[in-house]
Structure 1
Amino acid sequence: MVSYLYTRYNWISLKFCYFLFFSLLLSCGENTTKKEETNIDSSIENSSDSAKNTLTKTILCFGDSLTAGYGLDDINDAYPAVLQNRLDSLGLAYTVINSGLSGETTAGGKSRISWVLNQKVDVFILELGANDGLRGVPLTETRNNLQSIIDAVRKKNSETTIILAGMQLPPNMGPEYITEFRNIFPDLAQKNKLALIPFLLKDVGGIPELNQADGIHPTIEGQKILADNVWEVLKTVVK
């Protein structure tokens, strides 16, 4: 009798062990499947993100305090950020980078252009020269520096679209100087076959209510108009 009970006990134990093993096997299979599903989902998400990054193009605004948004409390009020909002609202896959530096001259821009071009740039907006004019820099120097920047962009990527922002000076600089200065931008645009913004500060320059106390740097409302001036040319490139 004892032998019978012992044998029966062993059979039940063995049966339980088989059941437990089979259950664990199924559980492991389910966990492996779940992990595989998770990995697949993660791969799909990563592939989707990579595709988005590949499809998104870059617009780089390279300039001085007008681009940097000097005097504004929030850089998101500067015209590059206003352009970004407009592009987003239109569903256009572009990222706008503000590479403005207050006080920048064409010589300064020339010296830092190589570093800026370490990133991929599809549209390059060149806004420099105003500080040269206000400081009375020889116009040949301004012209040559701008040409060097254009050449550097083209050398890095010949497919990059360059948009040149035209600039004008206040009348106190003398008629001959301001006329020659103004002509630098259309001349370079024609020579290099660039898109040209005739005058970045159109409808803003010289209007007190659209400029800060210094009479030079646009207010938030002024920056919106700058964005409109840029958009008139940029829209033909991005659409």
Structure 2
Amino acid sequence: MKSRRNKMSYSKFIHRLFFAFLAVVALSCGSSRSLPGAQVNKNTIVFLGNSITQVGKWQELLPGKNVINKGISGDVTTGVLARLSDCLSARPEQIFVMIGINDLKIGRPLEDITANQVKIIQKIKELSPRTKIYIQGTLPVNEGMLANIYRRLNNADIGKMNIALKAACEQQKVRYIDLHPVLTDQTGQFKQQLSTDGLHLKPEAYVIWVKYLQKNKIL
């Protein structure tokens, strides 16, 4: 009788041990992915993009915020996709993305650019579900100022890309930000007095950029 009880106790022990092991495995497997309930860090903001983002003095323009500049000169949509995990490691409360101009520069098809931008949005949602996503339309250029290296760029293509991006944002239910009204002249060109070369921005352009976000209660 005693032997039978010992066998039953041992069987229960093995049974419990097995399910405990399964629970540990499940937790360890999930630890490498973002947890849907993970909290974000308040007042932490990421600006993500290419050289236009990189040059911005975001921390100076937004005192009191923890601003992380993740702009890399020459970056494209595939580059942003590849480094999203790093960009979101701080679990920012907000992320502002502007990417695509260099994709146009290298001749990437519009449909591929849009597809990559959608992937970026979806990946951010997956990695940091509580981070608020703001997708900024690519800024226009001043075609008359562009050097030969940038001659492939034109506002017609930028406009088409932004129309597709805005539609994608609506479908993905994230906010699209259009900075054109405050940075372009009456002909739709980037304001000459705000640009260094027709593509890149002078410091005063970033001041206008941030004030626009603040005026619209985004920051």
The question of a shared fold, defined as TM-score above 0.5 by the shorter chain, is answered with yes
Which TM-score band applies after superposition, normalised by the shorter structure?
0.5 to 0.7
2:61 corresponds to 1:116: no
Q: 1:161 aligns with which of 132, 135, 141?
A: 132
Distance 2:139 2:195 in 1: 16
User: Which residue in the other structure is 2:205 paired with?
Assistant: 222
RMSD: 2.6
TM-score (norm 1): 0.61
- CA deviation string 1:29-86 (max 9, x = no partner): xxxxxxxxxxxxxxxxxxxxxxxxx9743111111111101xxxxxxxx25224422x
Structure 1 residue 201 displacement after superposition: 8.0
Distance 1:167 1:202, change over 3 A: farther
Shift of 1:125: 0.8
Aligned length: 167
Unaligned runs of 5+ in 1: 1-53, 70-77, 89-93
State the distance in 2 between where 1:139 and 1:151 align: 19
**Residue 7 of structure 2 corresponds to which residue in structure 1?**
none
Counterpart of 2:97 (choices 110, 120, 126) is: 126
- Tell me which amino acid in the other structure corresponds to 1:206: F
Q: Can you list the C-alpha shifts for 1:138-171, whole angstroms capped at 9, x where unaligned?
A: 1111111111111111111211110010125457
Q: Give CA-to-partner distance per residue, 1:88-146, whole Å, 9 cap, x none.
A: 3xxxxx31111111111111111111222222121111111111123321111111111
User: Which structure shows the bigger proportion of residues in helix conformation?
Assistant: 1
The corresponding residue for 2:113 is 142
Gap regions ≥5 residues in structure 2: 1-39, 144-151
Do the aligned residues in 2 keep the contact of 1:82 with 1:227 (CA within 8 Å)? no
The structure with the largest alpha-carbon Rg is: 1
Name the counterpart of 1:199.
179
Give every structure 1 segment of 4 or more consecutive aligned residues whose post-TM-superposition deviation is greater than 6 Å. none
Please say if residues 57 and 95 of structure 1, whose CA atoms lie closer than 8 Å, have aligned partners that are also in contact: yes
CA separation in 2, counterparts of 1:165 and 1:60?
13
In structure 2, the CA distance between the partners of 1:196 and 1:232, relative to structure 1 (3 Å rule), is: farther
